[in-house]
Amino acid sequence: MYSDFVKYGRMLWEAGLIHLTSGNISMRKGPVLYVTRTGSLLGDLTPSDIVSVNLENTLRDKGASSETPVHRAIYLANPEIGAVVHAHPPHATALSWDYEVIRPIDSDSLYIPEIPVLLDCPYGEGSTCVAQHFPQILGKHTVAMIRGHGAFSVGKDIRQATARISMMENQCRLLFFRRLLEKK
Ligand SMILES: [Zn+2]
């Protein structure tokens, strides 16, 4: 599992889906969540950057990502989910200010037709507010945005969750360019 954290963390960094200290990854194994450490560099993870916490409570959360409550809430509401990725994809985040639902127009809209945008959580309130809203949203969608902040994606495993956030950012990049060209 550690090698998957390293592999997909590096991919998120190299694809420009995070800045150096942003983003977090988790995987669920039964009653345990494995989450990246707060402040860790996803592009250069080491074994000590992976923290194991309890699915059911916060007793072992020390050192884990500050977004751990969001990850936990998503898993508790959706038992089929095996991995969650949080990233800061720039084109999707740029679009998030102007849409309540981003509707991609490219061929991958067959897979991701809608990207809901969470509007209700001010920047300072962080993960408690997001944890209240995202479990339900990510029960119906595979990716979703927090306005002006970033994205969460889910999957049965880390490969699927990372692929979804990558696809979504590419869709948003295309939509972003299309909107620019339309203005000419
Ligand atoms: Zn974030």
What's the total number of domains in the chain? 1
pLDDT at 124: 62
pLDDT at 107: 96
pLDDT at 163: 98
Per the prediction, the chain carries an average pLDDT of: 95
Residue ranges with CB less than 5 Å from ion ligand 1: 150
pLDDT tens digit sequence for 108-128: 999 999 999 999 887 765 688
Distance between Cα 107 and ligand 1 center (Å): 28
Distance between Cα 125 and ligand 1 center (Å): 12
Tell me how many degrees the CA angle 50-51-55 measures, rounded to the nearest 5. 130
Structure tokens at 49: 């950057």
pLDDT at 61: 92
pLDDT at 34: 98
pTM for the model stands at 0.95
Distance between Cα 19 and ligand 1 center (Å): 10
Q: Is residue 90 part of a domain?
A: yes
Domain span including residue 141: 2-179
Residues 64/38, Cβ–Cβ less than 8 Å: yes
CATH code (residue 15): 3.40.225.10
Q: Is residue 184 part of a domain?
A: no
Going along the chain, which residue ranges are E strands? Answer: 24-29, 32-36, 50-54, 83-87, 101-102, 115-118, 143-146, 150-155
pLDDT tens digit sequence for 29-47: 999 999 999 999 999 999 9
